[in-house]
A and B are shown apart, each in its own frame.
Chain A
């Protein structure tokens, strides 16, 4: 994460406290395929500096810093770089970056000036450097015009830096997805060791002009801890528990929240499992059944179970009543993909595991990660009350969607 090397003593007389000195993008075979320097160039071979890296989508974003800087500052920025690349090109992978190396380089140029973040808002960046699309690249090749905007994004100047000016849509619409994830640890006997709900409200707002939105909840008291997109007015939330904001254009995360109180957390499924390994005969048995618990009358979808097996397990010979299972021989991960949960006929996975002979049986049984989705339900019971728009006179089309997912949902065995 953070590697320290002795700082170059020759340079020590000037304590240059710039933040981020250089950035290297490295693929997972360890090759540098893009580098950007904001100060004088650093040699690739001997970085006598501090290195901070993040790992995203099989890529390492490695930054070089020379002096004291809050590490989270750098980490957060590197993730923002990855987010921006993802936002521009749909994904953040080596190939995409190599294909768009000039745009990426220009983006980096705008995002950081002298090692200090300059423009990191996607709305602002998109005004300066337009993201590529097929139509434009055709036009560009024909006319020789460019992807680079020639005016300063107005967002840069205002105190609404996240929104560009002059947005126009023929269909004005605002969609909000309330997505909740259940993080839980269930122990062997089925009791909940730990459970909490993490929620996020993802918004897709395509509204003309400068709309000022107010989103209120039926039961805001549920929310234990919240964090907001910079557009949300803190004080309004503190005073009235409503979200008042001028939205960025396009997709963004409006807020994240946390519901802590453990008894409020409904656990939608139960798991009956029995995994055992025998000393003799070098084999083991596995038997897993999943049933609905507190689903609020909704259907559980996309149900899956992931089991990282001990390294000594050689193969699995199982039968599933629902869905299908795969066992990756290299990583020893067993994935059982169930799909929709039918409460009348509970899915079951049963069979034997073959174990490497001659080694002691695995000490611990593997734990199960559960994946699931429940549409149209926020498991915490959070409900959006209403959405009002001020500042513009058209009638927007509004929609709210709820979704519950399993987050880090772990069943210990």
Chain B
């Protein structure tokens, strides 16, 4: 397109648009008048300038609208920059937005002037309105002016810790913009990304992963800690974010988990192995693959997204399953992928491409849906050919007859390109399925008498290929083709037949020379490609049957020698030298026969999609079948899985930093619709973990609870929304709605009568007769300061009654529990309880499967003692405390979990806090990940695992910062070297009877009377030793069971109150040193008043 034409054309369009707009006096001056192009343009801009400089807003707005119109049409409006930029601080929000649009477009070209506007944005970044902060950051980061990089960096950093998740989302977007403007900022940007990755908001998740993918896709280590969170948030993330996260997690999983296909590969691909050696297979089965729970988590949490309306999401889940799931689970996605075929044709095209690739490897996956790939005459050709491709891939002995019948219809299609593709497809079926080879071949031969040239030509070509693959007796077909030769005009087909004649000339010794004779006559009239084959045929016949064809050959070679095409002249010359012996003949002459009549390898008829499997499904590269810029290879599975512990979440974020929003923490504080159940659940999970240790023995129960909480949190999302809103905005309307909600009314559902329903069905348009409205009534826990406080109690009772009435829709609620908690639920939960349940939530995630294997309960005795590890004086500002959280260690079962609270009391930030040398050197410590940076005044909690080998010997190690090392030691109390274990009274007695004599230590102690209640004794004992109480019928004997962490040997403690105040305290264990120490501390604890 020449630039003048472009210009012309646009002006025309623009006038049209101008006419369409409300005509102000100023525009009407110009329109219609026949100005020269440039002067008109110039004039217009002058006029716009005036309007922009006016002191009224409406002409300014009008001018900006026209300018944006110009930009939209791709016209240059940059000369107005000075006039426009003045309006950047306008109060009128629409004008401002238009100015922003303009700025983003032209700032790069007018850098100096653009700088004028920067201060406005800097001011706006501090605006109390989050919307304004966000849009200021959006524009600021879109101004591609290198000089403001530091300002952008600062703004991004600030926005990343903004209270509003929307602003944080914007900062994630800004990261990418800054990175493309100045890649040198990478390191700093990665820090921001790391911070944002920890964000628990669903709003931020998609955007920050996008930034991660762009800036540092190789820093997979940043994902570890956030992996589980991302998996769990995924369902609630907006659609576009889901796509990005899924594709990132696909890559992640391929580096972190082992292949789930090892076992499968055996039965899928090599059936021989199955039959040959059962023993081998059995062996393979015995060392069965166990999927990493995190791997499973990903698969489980992505599955519901297959039901998304967004085709990109469905496809990305599809590819995730394809690349990550065990083979037998991949077919889960089939149905959804087939569903996408109903979408727009562009979507169809991409999905069909992917299915084509998949169907090569896994026929079974799509075979049940074969009919969905039947071609309609209304499909566009490229869709038709793809469907054909898939049908061909799916063909097997069982369905081939159905497919061939379908193909027969296609061959007759008016769409000749498609008909030709069908013939190719038939050829492929014939080679793949030997049973039908003859049928196909005969069918193709019949097609030779088709009236359409393309069909005939394609048939010949395919027959040629088929005959080559089946070098058996096919002289009949060749004869038939020779007969048809005169009627075939398509050069490619003619050439193919000639080639066949030559190749199999010995099988048709009578016909071949005759064909050559005919060709000699028509040689000059043939197409080049045919001529080449005539020369070829002549040469071959000369070698096999020189008696009959010598003269013909020479004649043809002479014709070829003077042909107009140099290719043919060359070929003729070459052939002549090769076959005709002369005195000067070269050494090649002897080999002419071997050269020309060598057995040719048969062409392989295979899918064009065969080589696409090297690309990840669903990617652009896959669609193009060529590597697109920025394509990242999917790595192979590691043979040994990297440490799975890296994904354990250690750092329990202080809740204060981030305003609760979507994510798990939100339901704690929100104004809920099903608030009674919610609370109750809270209470339950909480009580189960704190009071009866035995019931929470398997963390899977916690996990499922977790899920149901998540679900119910979704139920209540509407009201949550309002509450979280109000927390941030406290806008008037919000509080209004809250007050409304607290006015309680309730109605019973009317049962819908059958008659009413059939009525409505008859009418169709009719209203669903029954009307039932449930009242939302909810009590907020957070707005206790509001005036609705007093209503709360009766309100909740109301709800409770109501939920008894409506049993059906809420199956998950068991009514009994309501009574149990009727007292507690009216109280607002104490903060400690809340944070505790949050904590156990998080643990529930990380514990999955591990603790259940250990059969150890998590006793969460809430009073933990803090011990000093490093005083801030000796640590040059770094202070460290530790405590034993009494959780099973996630890294290794033989380790004791120790939580460190590191705080920076100095006035400068500390960097690279990590664990250095340890002594004894053999000491087995699982270190926390290096803390890159600890700001002054900040503190962080990390957890580590130490294997004390069941001794109270101190673990010595160095706590290092970037500059210093501090020797520290942790000496465990003997009680912390235990883990509680669950057993019945019987088991306890049985075990105890095995541990008598040497293994028993006992002492008689005096227990103060204040301490003899069961509760008091439990409390005292649990405070010093991490053991579990054994439920007992006897009121005077208390039993506790535990296990040594390292060795796993049982430690049984029993206290029998013979006659108060004296009691007999017995410890039974193989570890005699431990026993005596334990006895000592227990005695101390119990006897102390």
Contacts and interface: CB of A to CB of B under 8 A. Distances in A.
Secondary structure of the B contact surface, majority rule: helix
Interface in A41-62: 41, 44-45, 50, 52-55
Contacts of B346: 1, 52-55, 75, 79
Given A1-B346, A72-B350, A230-B239, A17 B213 contact: yes
A246 B718 contact: yes
Nearest to B662: A159
A12 to B, nearest CB: 7
A322 B180 CA distance: 66
B309 A229 contact: yes
Given A160-B718, A363-B451, A152 B61 contact: no
A356 to B, nearest CB: 15
Contacts of B95: 146
A19 B72 CA distance: 20
A32 B342 CA distance: 29
B308 A389 contact: no
A101 interface: yes
A185 B374 contact: yes
A393 interface: yes
Given A68-B631, A70-B619, A235-B714, A399 B71 contact: no
Nearest to A8: B629
B134 A152 contact: yes
Nearest to A141: B22
B809 interface: yes
A70 B316 contact: yes
Nearest to A195: B371
A69 B240 CA distance: 12
B540 interface: no
A14 interface: yes
Interface stretch (A108-116, A266-274, A323-331, A344-352): A108-116
Given A68-B621, A72-B350, A159 B721 contact: yes
User: Considering residues B131, B165, B763, B811, which has the most beta carbons from chain A within 10 angstroms of its beta carbon?
Assistant: B131
A70 B240 contact: no
A139 interface: no
Interface string A150-169: 11101011111101011000
A233 interface: yes
A328 to B, nearest CB: 16
B304 A234 contact: yes
User: Considering residues A163, A377, A393, which has the most beta carbons from chain B within 10 angstroms of its beta carbon?
Assistant: A393
B676 to A, nearest CB: 14
Contacts of B92: 146
B351 to A, nearest CB: 8
Interface string B7-32: 00100010011001010000000000
Interface stretch (A84-92, A208-216, A281-289, A335-343): A208-216
Contact of A394 (B164, B309, B773): B773
Given A4-B626, A68-B630, A391-B718, A399 B69 contact: no
B764 A402 contact: yes
B804 interface: no
A209 to B, nearest CB: 7
A1 B346 CA distance: 7
Interface in B763-788: 763-768, 770-776
B339 A7 contact: no
B620 interface: yes
A67 interface: yes
A75 B661 CA distance: 31
A71 B623 contact: yes
B414 interface: yes
A253 interface: yes
A70 B243 contact: yes
Nearest to A375: B764
Contacts of B335: 224-225, 258
Given A50-B620, A233-B711, A154 B725 contact: yes
Contacts of A150: 93
B65 interface: yes
B409 A412 contact: yes
A395 interface: yes
Contact of A390 (B13, B315, B378, B776): B776
Given A67-B630, A70-B315, A71-B350, A98 B621 contact: no
Interface in B289-308: 304, 307-308
Interface in B86-108: 92-95, 97-98, 101, 105, 108
Interface in A359-399: 360, 362-364, 366-367, 369, 375-377, 383-384, 386-399
Nearest to B724: A158
Nearest to A218: B757
Contacts of B926: none
B68 A399 contact: no
B207 A116 contact: yes
Contacts of B339: 225, 227, 256, 258
B928 interface: no
A228 B764 CA distance: 24
B618 to A, nearest CB: 5
B235 A161 contact: no
Interface in A8-45: 12, 14-19, 31-37, 39-41, 44-45
Interface string B718-732: 111110110010000
A196 B372 CA distance: 9
Contact of B673 (A68, A224, A390): A390
B548 interface: no
Contacts of A398: 767-768, 771
Contact of B628 (A50, A194, A410): A50
Nearest to A30: B1
A226 B620 CA distance: 27
B1038 interface: no
A293 interface: no
Interface in A299-319: 308, 310-311
Contacts of A392: 773, 776
Interface string B163-202: 0111000100110110010010000000000000000001
A387 B173 contact: no
A244 interface: yes
Interface in B136-161: 138, 141-142, 144
B768 A384 contact: yes
User: Considering residues B16, B65, B624, B721, which has the most beta carbons from chain A within 10 angstroms of its beta carbon?
Assistant: B721
User: Considering residues A39, A151, A157, A311, which has the most beta carbons from chain B within 10 angstroms of its beta carbon?
Assistant: A157
B765 A399 contact: yes
A228 B314 CA distance: 12
Nearest to B100: A109
B583 to A, nearest CB: 54
Contacts of B707: 235
Nearest to A15: B630
Contacts of A7: 628-629
A101 B130 contact: no
9 contacts: A2-B623, A12-B629, A157-B164, A165-B734, A196-B372, A227-B309, A227-B336, A256-B342, A389-B773
Sorted nearest first, the 7 A-B pairs with minimum C-beta distance are A376-B764, A67-B630, A152-B131, A146-B94, A158-B721, A234-B304, A391-B776
Interface of B: 1, 6, 9, 13, 16-17, 20, 22, 57-58, 61, 65, 68-69, 71-74, 92-95, 97-98, 101, 105, 108, 129-131, 134, 138, 141-142, 144, 164-166, 170, 173-174, 176-177, 180, 183, 202-203, 207, 210, 213-214, 235-236, 238-240, 243, 247, 304, 307-312, 314-316, 335-336, 338-339, 342, 344-347, 349-351, 371-372, 374, 376-378, 382, 406, 409, 412-414, 450-452, 618-621, 623-624, 626, 628-632, 661-662, 673, 707, 711, 714-715, 717-722, 724-725, 728, 733-734, 737, 745, 749, 752, 760-768, 770-776, 809, 811
Given A165-B734, A228-B309, 15 more contacts: A2-B624, A4-B624, A15-B629, A35-B74, A39-B180, A45-B1, A66-B629, A76-B310, A152-B130, A158-B720, A160-B721, A225-B335, A244-B715, A391-B776, A400-B768
